[in-house]
Amino acid sequence: MITQRDVRKLLIKYRDTVQALKKLGIIKTSNVVSGYGEYVAMRKLGLKLQKTGNKGFDGVDKNGKKYEIKSRKATEWNNPTVFPMKKDHLKYFDYLVYTGFDDDWNLIHLLKIPRSSVKPNMHNRVIVNQELIRKFDILETTNRMKPLLK
pLDDT of residue 147: 53
CB atoms inside a 10 Å sphere around CB 50: 17
Q: pTM (2 decimals)? A: 0.86
- Residue by residue, pLDDT tens for the chain (150 residues) are 899 999 999 999 999 999 999 999 999 988 999 999 999 999 999 999 887 767 789 999 999 999 999 999 987 776 668 888 888 899 999 999 999 999 899 999 999 999 999 988 888 888 888 888 899 999 887 776 555 554
